[in-house]
Structure 1
Amino acid sequence: MTANDMPPVATPRVAAGALFFDDEGRVLLVRPSYKNHWDIPGGYVEPGESPRAACIREIAEELGLTVQVGPLLVVDWAPAESEGDKLLFVFNAGALSEEQEGLISFRDGELVEWRYVAASALGGYVPARLVRRIHTAISALEEGSAVYAEHGVPSESA
């Protein structure tokens, strides 16, 4: 069988994001200048780059922080009509110290603001699909096990 005889395969866009928490368990959200909603720090994976490396790079580019991210919390298959197939990785980034919070700077101009938001209030900031993904990630953190999700819903529920 030659490459031309192969059936088509998915070529999803891949992105990685980080969940940071404060002492009260609130999630750090960022407000991109180019979106109408808030998001978690992160972005698209570049060719040849791992999702973890992309997450670390994006945190450095967006927040000006050099951090190591912790364990994987969620892999979410979440195609979007306007963007096609997508695989989204969410990593636990733990808590930022007050010193780290003071060092946050928007170096690349993509972000204009950051804040901590209670999980119960996420719907007022981010799209429903991201609310589901964040809640799934928080549950995975509490259970100590990574989760596969579809559209933010754990696979056993999808």
Structure 2
Amino acid sequence: MAARKVAIITGGASGMGLATAISLSAAGWKVHILDLNKSAGAEATRQNPDLIFTQTDVNSYKCLSSAFDRIFISEGRLDFVFANAGILGLDNFYDKADSLPPPEPRQLSIDINLKAVVTTSYLARQYFLASDNPCQDPVIVITASIASFV
């Protein structure tokens, strides 16, 4: 019997990430959901016991790489990564500042919606390559959103 395929989904505790996790799990995959929201992760795994939740800050290389490493050591393979974590920036870049010099702009949406996606993709590629028996067709899927515009 072939080993179950393994997926990692960032932002996997809700929305499209959770829907993808549930679909892959129903198809027999072993699915790890990474999300900052601990209560959403707990609820996702309560409703879908086959999912494995790890609270993860994708904005922290140390935290994200540690999650990838634990999963890879545990599973011995990685077949699919969905870089889906994202946030809606609430600051309006075009608003006039109350004073000059203006305050430093908040860049959390850039950190999560761009930098963390690059980091997730980088880690995925490294773990795909590290496999003793590289997956035939490993896949990285990236979500983009109108919410990422500054």
TM (norm. structure 1) is: 0.25
State the structure with more CA Rg.
2
| TM-score computed with the length of structure 2 as normaliser | 0.25
Higher strand share: 1
